[in-house]
Amino acid sequence: MAKLTNFTILPTSSIKQALIRLDKNKHGIILIVNKSSKLLGVATDGDIRRKLVSDCNISDSIKICMNTKFVSVDLSTPRESVIKKFDNNIKVIPVINTKGILQRIYTLNDFPVAPEKSNYSRAKAPVRISFGGGGSDLTHFFATQKGAVINATISLYSHAILKRRNDKKIIISSADLNQEIKASNLKSALKMKTDLSLIQSVIKLVDPDFGFELQVFSDFPHSSGLGGSSAVSAAILGCFNEFKSDPWSNYEMAEIAYQAERLSLQISGGWQDQYACTFGGFNFMEFTIDDNLVHPLRLSNKTKLELEESLVLCDTGVSHNSGNIHDDQKISMNEQKIHDLVKLNVENTHKIKNKILKGNLDDFAKLLDTAWHFKRRFSNKISNKKLDNIYSGAKNNGAIGGKLLGAGGGGFFIFYVKPFYRSKLINHLKNNKLDVVNFTFDENGLQSWKFRE
């Protein structure tokens, strides 16, 4: 950084003193300032020579050589603008504040890159709709049999915003649950008894060594059956991943999300949700005790468009506890007939994959219907009279097939409807006080980025 004392001089100083300063700074310019460091003007070696040649001598005040029409900038002047001034043959640029006080000097050899600014990270992760294979992504099933599911992510997201603090304080807020955690450090934040246990569980595994502020909010209701808890976990992990020098892969983030929910919190459930919201798009997933593999499906654009127009997402208005349903299913899985039903569901999932890849959507819809009838027999907690009536009513009004999403017991139905019956089905659902949610398919999965404050 250029030394100001080699460039500045009081207006009462002599021309001789100014020449001594010019010799020291070797930039051919002197800045005239008052005792408060306010910049009054500048004088170049050329300005001084012209005065000495004409009508003054070396003992006169430098003030008589001063040029008050000088180029200056402030600290907020865009870098581009400063560079253009240098490029226009200006060698030294004084930096002043709004009161004209000299702050520093820019020269061609001393114009540093702007200091690093504070950053925050954002992330969003989509929820999924599942078409088949539910139950086979449970570890106690694929420990002995290969599991397979097929799903797609949609344009309903969980969002997270993360900002690092300069201290160890922790502030976590959830707009979905209308709750907040404020603590002096991470250990205290993780000890608090709150409804934000999933967020706390994820953060415990991340184990950040800095204080932070985290906000989470979602486009979908709580306990929706859309894999929302996994989307929340993924969005949080995406935010922290932006601050890592060695970022996690999609597989690693899915595994951390699974660990946080299934192992740390002991909430029963399968593996597909974590992979779906992290990878995004249409995926066929295979599960074995050794490997979980995500196979992206290359559907034609017209197949995707037709599916978007033909699928109707319907909120039953009934929340559910997926953990309790999975616990019950785990017990019932010990019965051979239930185990065999899940195997049949896996076989059906392979058929769904083949039909959807070939664009045979009517057949795909009929296989959805088959998948639902398999699934509802896994546990007596999966369906009930109200849900059965919703399903049969949809089929009577144009739906070829569909299924309840997630573990069951409530949440959302997805229906595939014949082209000219979409309006009829939607009117039927709305007349029965059921909400229809519009969506498009998401191809990106978890997205995260960092931005300057």
Catalytic residue positions, numbered:
273
If we measure between CA atoms, which residue out of 78, 115, 120 comes closest to residue 452?
A: 120
Tell me the C-alpha distance between 315 and 44, whole Å. Answer: 76
Q: What angle do CA 92, 97, 101 make, to 5 degrees?
A: 80
How far apart are the two ends of the chain, measured CA to CA in Å?
26
Cα distance between residue 302 and residue 94, in whole Å = 61
Sign of CA dihedral 214, 220, 225, 226: negative
According to DSSP, the β-strands at 212-218 and 292-296 are unpaired
| H, E, C per residue of the chain | CCCHHHCEECCCCEHHHHHHHHHHHCCCEEEEECCCCEEEEEEEHHHHHHHHHHCCCCCCEHHHHCECCCCCECCCCCHHHHHHHHHCCCCEEEEECCCCEEEEEEECCECCCCCCCCEEEEEEEEEEEEEECCCCCCHHHHCCCCEEEEEEEEEEEEEEEEEECCCCCEEEEECCCCEEEEECCHHHHHHCCCCCHHHHHHHHHHCCCCCEEEEEEECCCCCCCCCHHHHHHHHHHHHHHCCCCCCCCHHHHHHHHHHHHHHHCCCCCCCHHHHHHHHCCEEEEEECCCCEEEEECCCCHHHHHHHHHHEEEEECCCCCCHHHHHHHHHHHCCCHHHHHHHHHHHHHHHHHHHHHHHCCHHHHHHHHHHHHHHHCCCCCCCCCHHHHHHHHHHHCCCEEEEEECCCCCCCEEEEEECHHHHHHHHHHHHHCCCEEECCCECCCCCEEEEEEC
Tokens found for residue 69: 């029409």
